[in-house]
Amino acid sequence: MGTLHTINKSPFERNSFATCLAHASAGDVILMIEDGVVGARKGSSFAPALAAKLASCAIYALGPDLAARGMKPEDVLEGVKLVDYAGFVDLTTEKARVCAWL
């Protein structure tokens, strides 16, 4: 079933996002929450790394946290899906475990 990885810090603040990308196995799911949603921004210097990971992992961003940071769905890298908190709960049930990259 794989792992759900939650990432809550911007890739421009810490290297935990990059470490998460390096560790997530094929079939795992990555969910950006809190300041982590900054990593979803289209056209950023981090976007190519995230886009490359889309080939092996489903990647989501928490919609309310995007909105709280003034980001619109059209600002988000293509292929990244948006979920609300109910969707966050569903992702935790769909994977076997949750790894929080704090």
Task: Pick the stretch among 17-25, 44-52, 70-78, 79-87 that binds other proteins (CB under 8 A).
Answer: 79-87
Is 75 near other proteins (CB under 8 A)? no
DSSP H/E element including 90? helix 85-94
- The residue behind tokens 């003034």 is 70
Cα 101 to Cα 76: distance, rounded to the nearest angstrom: 21
Site string for other proteins, 42-71 (x = CB under 8 A): ----------------------xx------
Within 8 A by CB and 6+ apart from 28, the residues are 2, 3, 4, 5, 57, 95
Is 34 near other proteins (CB under 8 A)? yes
Q: Which of 29, 30, 33, 71 binds other proteins (CB under 8 A)?
A: 33
Shortest Å, Cβ 42 to other proteins: 23
